[in-house]
Structure 1
Amino acid sequence: MAREFELKMIGPPAALERLRRAQWLKSLTAGRANTAAMQTTYFDTSDFSLAEQGVSLRIRKQGRRLTQTVKSLNGKTAPRWDRAEQDAAVSAVAPEPALIEDGYIRKKLTHWTEAGELKPVFETDVRRTAIPLMSEEGLKVEAAFDYGSIRALGAKEGVSQPVAELELELKEGDSAALFALARLVARETPLRFSLESKADRGYALAQGATDKPVRAKPLTLNGDMRTSDAFALIMHEGLKQMIANENAILRGRDVEGIHQMRVAIRRLRSAIAAFGNAYDHSEIARLKGEMKWIASVLGCARDWDVFQNRTFAPVFAAFPKDSGLFAMAAAIRRVRRDAWAQAVAQLESERYRLFVIDIAAAISGHVWVDQTQSQTALAEDKTCPYERPLSKTAQKCLDKRLAKVEELGLRMADLAIEERHELRIRLKRLRYSADFLASCYARKSTKRYLASLSDLQDVFGELNDDAVAVQLVGKLLQTTEDTNDEPPEADLQRAGGLVIGWHMASGERLWEQAQRRWRRFADAEPFWR
């Protein structure tokens, strides 16, 4: 199959039009623009077996020509923008598996076609203007401006979404230069980098999952793979989850979208820390700073979501006629609205758009690889950290994380409040590292350990929610005082005391539960030993 290296940018149609007419883009134009209408039908089984395997099958009608295209990931560790692609001319809008080069895919599609299981699941109707671009350095790119719609078929028939996107396909040159071009687009327009293909959007429509929060998917790693490739795959999955939750926030205003994007960022940061200094390249270090920035902005909105829905709600339900609580409810809504507005504004900012592209570029270029260190290791007949099998790195990584947890956990009963908070963070880092690397080991050995770790982490999360609640009540009182809101300050102070007291009453119970769960976790055998 041929290789397709393509970056996608999405945004308002007006922004695409401004870009298409921009003088700087015209200065790169290296030929006539070609505009064509394309109708494309995507096929899969009723349970979306192709999509589950990262494969898409489509037939596109352009003029009188019908083309069947199969796309799949370009190897197990390839990112979403680097895909294998095979085209073949067909005579009808019906799959012809015999024309597919990949033997495994051909066999599967032949079986499903003969069994009548392969059906149209969605279609796109797009008008594409393709413009050839060439830079002075010799970079050749096809810039495709797509406008149209995606429409679900089958059970969700009639449900549709508009399409307005830019595809930058590398024809000749260095992929780093293509990312530089995407950065320029992000600086000049509000277009955002996306990992969601038209096929991804079509499947979301067909499954009723548009603008929904996206959880991290289990990783499939192999102990024999190079550590550098494993690190790239973990980082890519974190980036994919982060981007996938943008629409749940920007369009869906879903509180779980905020939470899952924060999870994705924490997983990215945890991966960098887990793999050690060899992977903490200067560019990765810079990106860690950007991750901390956006996590902080999202964290503010998330704190108020939790405070309103988990901390304040049961107290208000118990005392619905309390005037102080009633006023506090209004103040919470106002502060939470402001925190959400700030989160949305930052996700729509140029800084965030560039940050996302820079992570993708770092993953694509494996920027963490120190060529000098690699060459030195080769000259000394040693295995450099990037070439080392993942199985060796995994054990060292998990041992290090567990040792950090045990340093505090073994004196659990005597921990100060600040140390409890630190233990919560260390448990979270161990959990993410264990999640990343669990697939290198037998599932039976990982299941019990991960379950006990998850239970322990949950109770520490509840304890943290209570600790954050005290801080937020203070901020709420200060905010209300600054704005001279009514009712009298005394009513709000009383309400704040009621909220804090309600949850402090459960604090001792939670801490006793945490100690019991720690003992159960300490008895669990680490699956990597």
Structure 2
Amino acid sequence: MQTATESERKYDVPAGFALPPLSGAGGVSASGEPATHELDATYFDTEDLRLARNKRTLRRRTGGTDAGWHLKTPGEGSSRTEYRLPLTGDDAVPAELVAEVRTIVRTRPLRPVATLRTRRVETPLCDADGRTLALIAQDEVDAETGNGQQRWQEIEVELVDGGPELLDAVEGLLRAAGATPAAGPSKLARALGDRLRAPQPGKAPKTDPVLGYAREQRDAIEAHDAAVRAGDADGVHKMRVGTRRLRSTLKTFKSSFDPERAEFLKDELKWLADCLGDVRDGQVLQHKLAAASEGFPDVAARIREKLEADVSRGRQALVEALNSDRYLALLDAMDALIDEARPDAGNAPRRVRKVLHRADALLDTAVGDGVDAELHDARKKYKQARYAVEVFAPAAGKPGKKLVSALTSLQDVLGAHQDSVVARELLRDVARTAPDAFEYGVLYARQERIGEETFHELPAVIKSSRRGKLRRWLG
């Protein structure tokens, strides 16, 4: 499967629109010979248009210079990523492209939703050396959907070897000639019209902060699916954070969600978070111990070998999990629970105070006892508390923002302490089969020292997180 990044702009134009002279725009020296193409594209989506609603288009197109199956997904900024496969003998969507959108469509079938026939006149815009900087296409579109037919004209300008400044320069000339930026993101969106804009059952807008926060985490989990499958470490981290935040929200604000469904989803989110953690925890240890074991090359090699094997096994299990029916059921369960949730603003702030006070109590006991496991439990409770505070912090303004920051700093110290605990456990494990345990003992002592140092940092960050002016807005 081929992939490409496209950067283009679309414009609506009136019937009979004529291209203005474009020489001199952004380095354009001349226009090449126009070429005419007859394009015939069938677009596929689910019955409820899940792909289009998530700014993705999937089509089978004949004609032109790039006939084939095309999947377009959002890229960075205004760019889009296009996945391409050659035409097959039938109209069945290729399995490779189905896999790319499985998180969105789940088990729903993909079927034709629109047919677009386009007469395209494409002109290259070239520099003084004859290099093609961009392609400008004049399209006459005939679209057919279940709601009837539409006809319109539009202009597309797609970069080839030119830079973004070329798009700006060409746009100025097009707009001066009567073109306007396209009202929709794609031809398909225009063809679907009101059907795409219509609200979906159970998805009416909600302003409740708890439900808004829950939706954000649901969207984050889905958004990072592709990055996780590609092996991106940051994607693994962010998806894991999304699962933790959503699970924490279900625990803290119980009255907003159906109890039975919430309990099921909490268990499934824990399963997913554990799968992600089997990869992420090893990656974090790799980074920390690589620096800590500098000067001990043999030890560093053994640690690296073990952690790379652990991460590799974890990644394989994670991909299997993401390809499972269980994962798809989890995604459906998230949608159902969040879309049917009910606002409960009256009890929500009280629940935030309760979980925060509970975290304070656990940490006070843990510090007094000096027990690593108790400190870890307090850290997890503070995560729940911080996520709960995040729900209402935007409305609280500066105090809310500062409380989130203070709780994050406290968690960072507790996290560094726990990392030293886990590192010591790993060093003990690897040292059992090492020919010489002395160097492991040196590294172990260093991690013990880190644990002691972070423990002594706690009083200051605890005090900072409990300042009255940071918490007063919680009541």
Match of 1:514 in 2: 458
Q: Equivalent of 1:7, from 47, 50, 62? A: 50
How far apart in 1 are the matches of 2:256 and 2:241? 24
Does residue 1:289 correspond to 2:369, yes or no? no
Partner of 2:415: 461
Preserved CA contact (<8 Å) 1:459 1:514: yes
Distance apart, 1:411 and its partner CA: 4.3
What is the aligned counterpart of 1:317 among 290, 294, 301? 294
Q: How many residues align?
A: 341
Q: 2:403 aligns with which of 437, 442, 449?
A: 449
For 1:122 and 1:473, the matched residues in 2 are separated by 57
SS of match in other structure, 1:36? strand
Moved more, 448-457 or 10-19: 10-19
1:347 aligns with 2:322: yes
- Any conservation in 2 of the 1:5–1:170 contact (CA below 8 Å)? no
Contact 1:37 1:125 in 2 (8 A): no
Asked if 1 retains the 8 angstrom alpha-carbon contact of 2:386 and 2:408, the reply is yes
Label 1:63 to 1:242 Cα distance change in 2 as closer, same or farther (>3 A): same
Query: Secondary structure of the residue that 1:490 maps to in structure 2?
Result: coil
Distance 1:39 1:426 in 2: 61
Question: Retained in 1: the 8 A contact 2:283–2:311?
Answer: yes
Partner of 1:401: 355
The CA deviation at 1:339 is 1.6
Is 1:505 aligned to 2:449, yes or no? Answer: yes
Identity score, percent: 21
**In the aligned structure 1, how far is the partner of 2:376 from the partner of 2:198?**
51
Report if the CA contact (8 A) 1:66-1:91 is conserved: no
The answer to whether the 8 Å contact 1:66/1:89 transfers is no
Q: Would you say the 8 A contact 1:405–1:426 is kept in 2? A: yes
SS at match of 1:63: strand
Which of these residues, 229, 232, 244, is aligned with residue 254 of structure 1? 232
Using the alignment, how far apart are the partners of 1:120 and 1:246 within structure 2? 30
Q: Decide whether aligned partners of structure 1 residues 339 and 32 sit closer, same or farther in structure 2, where only a CA change above 3 A counts.
A: closer
Distance in 1, matches of 2:179 and 2:415, equals 45
The CA distance in 2 between the partners of 1:448 and 1:413, in whole Å, is 24
SS at match of 2:245: helix
Which one-letter code corresponds to 1:246 in the other structure? Answer: D
Distance 1:302 1:425 in 2: 17
| RMSD across aligned positions (CA) | 4.6
| Pair 1:231–1:444, CA change in 2 (3 A) | closer
Q: Deviations over 1:202-247 (max 9, x none)?
A: xxxxxxxxxxxxxxxxxxx9xxx77xx4433222111111111112
Residue identity in the other structure for 1:261: M
CA distance in 2, matches of 1:17, 1:437: 45
Matched, 1:36 2:116: yes
Answer yes or no: is the 8 Å Cα contact 1:421–1:464 preserved in 2.
yes
Q: Distance in 2 between matches of 1:5 and 1:123?
A: 18
User: Structure 1 stretch 392-401 or stretch 465-474: which is displaced more?
Assistant: 465-474
Aligned to 2:474: 528
Q: Is the 8 A contact 2:392 2:400 kept in 1?
A: no
CA contact (8 A) 1:332 1:476 kept: no
Q: 1:462-487: CA deviations, max 9, x gaps?
A: 11111222333455568xx6xxxxxx
The answer to whether the 8 Å contact 1:449/1:524 transfers is no
Asked if the contact 2:359–2:382 (Cα under 8 Å) also holds between the matched residues in 1, the reply is yes
Q: Is the 8 A contact 1:398 1:430 kept in 2?
A: yes
Q: Distance in 1 between matches of 2:114 and 2:49?
A: 18
Structure 2 Cα separation of the partners of residues 285 and 124 of structure 1? 40
> For 1:421-440, what aligned pairs fall within 5 Å after superposition?
421-440=376-395
For structure 2, list consecutive stretches of 5 or more residues without a partner in the other structure.
1-46, 59-70, 72-82, 98-107, 121-136, 157-174
Counterpart CA distance in 2 for 1:437 and 1:299 is 28
Deviations 1:142-179 (A, max 9, x none): 9xxxxxxxxxxxxxxxxxxxxxxxxx98999x958xx9
Q: 1-side partners of 2:304 and 2:95: how far apart? A: 44
What is the CA distance between 1:314 and its match in structure 2? 1.4
Give the SS at the match of 1:424: helix
Determine the structure 2 residue equivalent to 1:300. 278
Q: 1:412 to 1:361 in 2, by over 3 A?
A: closer
In structure 2, C-alpha distance between the alignment counterparts of 1:422 and 1:505, rounded to whole Å = 21
- Per-residue CA distance 1:350-384 (angstroms, 9 max, x = gap): 221221122123222x0x5xxxxxxxxxxxxxxxx
Q: Secondary structure at the match of 1:317?
A: coil
Q: State the AA in 2 paired with 1:16.
A: V
2:93 to 12, 16, 31: 16
What residue number does 2:249 align with? 271
CA separation in 1, counterparts of 2:448 and 2:283?
19
Displacement of 1:289: 1.0
Is the CA contact 1:36–1:62 (under 8 Å) kept in the aligned structure 2?
Answer: no
CA deviations on 1:274-297 (whole Å, 9 max, x unpaired) are 112552521221111111111111
Bigger Rg over Cα:
2
Displacement of 1:434: 0.8
| Alignment-mate amino acid for residue 455 of structure 2 | W
State the secondary structure of the residue aligned to 1:505: helix
Q: Can you list the C-alpha shifts for 1:388-422, whole angstroms capped at 9, x where unaligned? A: 4x2x3332122111221222234454132222111
Partners of 1:66 and 1:93 within 8 A in 2: no
Task: Give the conservation status (yes or no) of the 8 Å contact 1:324–1:494.
Answer: no
Q: State the TM-score, normalized to the length of structure 2.
A: 0.60
Quick check: 2:209–2:391 contact (8 Å CA) kept in 1?
no
Is 1:245–2:224 an aligned residue pair?
yes
Alignment of 1:52-131 (within 5 A): 63-64=141-142, 92-93=154-155
d(CA) in 2 for partners of 1:309 and 1:452? 25
Whichever residue aligns with residue 355 of structure 2, its letter is: R
Look up the match of 1:361.
Answer: 336
Distance of aligned partners of 1:411 and 1:332 in 2 relative to their CA distance in 1, 3 Å threshold: closer
Name the counterpart of 2:24: none
Alpha-carbon spacing, 1:414–1:282, altered in 2? closer, same or farther (3 Å): same
Instruction: Give the match's secondary structure for 1:338.
Output: helix
Q: Distance in 2 between matches of 1:524 and 1:62?
A: 65
TM-score for the superposition, normalised by structure 1: 0.54
- CA deviation vs aligned residue, 1:122-149 (integer Å, no higher than 9, x gap): 98688xxx9xxxxxxxxxxx9xxxxxxx
Q: 1:420 aligned to 354, 360, 375, which one?
A: 375
Q: Partner amino acid for 1:244?
A: A
**Superposed counterparts of 1:469-484, under 5 Å:** 469-474=423-428, 476=430
